[in-house]
Amino acid sequence: MAVPDSDPVKADLLWIAADFRSIILNVSDGELDLPSTGTRWTNRQLLFHMALGQNIALAGIPLLGLFAHLPPSASRNWSRLLNASARPYNWVNWAGSAAGGQILTPHGMLRMMDRTTRIIVHWYGRADSRALNRGMTMPTQWDPYFQPWMSRRDVLEWAPKHYRHHRAQLSLTTLPALPAGR
């Protein structure tokens, strides 16, 4: 049975893609290279990072599925290792988005966002509760919205939190207002 568009997780994932499309189609070239608010990225680089966040959610689907089949100590130890590397991760996260934002055009970012969202929504529409509840211990120092343990559903619910957080940091005059409840 297909998941209706009104399902809150699916609706949020689809909203991300639609909102991103609206931003990309309405942003002026002059505003792309202005600094964002509260980050070291430009608006262009931050938009790339926002699209990358959707890809992180997609990568979480198989990763959390894999760790769910291993002993719990595997994800605890993996998360400890990732937390210990939070400082270099933060640099790579910043540098990767800084470079990616300069290399990929806004329309390329839009294609990436649309493709990734389609794949996630397709997977989500076929996933049963058992698949959605598979999860692992998470590196909470990597993201303020990561919880100590997250299921695949939690990661799909993380994506809109990450997106909204960074959307608020864009310094675009053409930024569409958030709909009520978003």
Closest by Cα among 18, 48, 26 to 108: 48
Structure tokens at 158: 């993380």
d(C-alpha 167, C-alpha 164), whole Å: 5
pLDDT tens-place string over residues 115-165? 999 999 999 999 999 999 999 999 999 999 999 999 999 999 999 999 999
User: CB–CB of 54/163 below 8 Å?
Assistant: yes
User: CB–CB of 48/141 below 8 Å?
Assistant: no
The answer to whether residue 76 sits within a structural domain is yes
Residue 94's Cα: distance from chain center in Å?
Answer: 14
The answer to whether residue 100 sits within a structural domain is yes
The answer to whether residue 52 sits within a structural domain is yes
Q: Which residues of 100-120 are buried (b: 16+ CB within 10 A; e: fewer)?
A: bbeebebeebbebbbebbeeb
Q: In the chain, count of helices (H) and strands (E)?
A: 8, 2
The answer to whether residue 15 sits within a structural domain is no
pLDDT at site 1: 55
The answer to whether residue 58 sits within a structural domain is yes
- The SS3 of residue 164 is helix
User: CB–CB of 68/153 below 8 Å?
Assistant: no
- Cβ neighbourhood burial of 144 (10 Å; 0-12, 13-18, 19+): exposed
pLDDT at site 175: 87
Structure tokens at 165: 């957080």
The answer to whether residue 81 sits within a structural domain is yes
The torsion angles phi and psi of 150, rounded to 5 degrees, stand at -135, 140
pLDDT at 180 over 70: no
State the residue range of the domain holding 83. 38-167
pLDDT tens-place string over residues 51-98? 999 999 999 999 999 999 999 999 999 999 999 999 999 999 999 999
pLDDT at site 3: 72
Specify the pTM: 0.93
The answer to whether residue 46 sits within a structural domain is yes
Specify the amino acid at residue 143: D
- Our count of domains for the chain comes to 1
Mean pLDDT of 31-49: 97
pLDDT at site 6: 82
The answer to whether residue 161 sits within a structural domain is yes
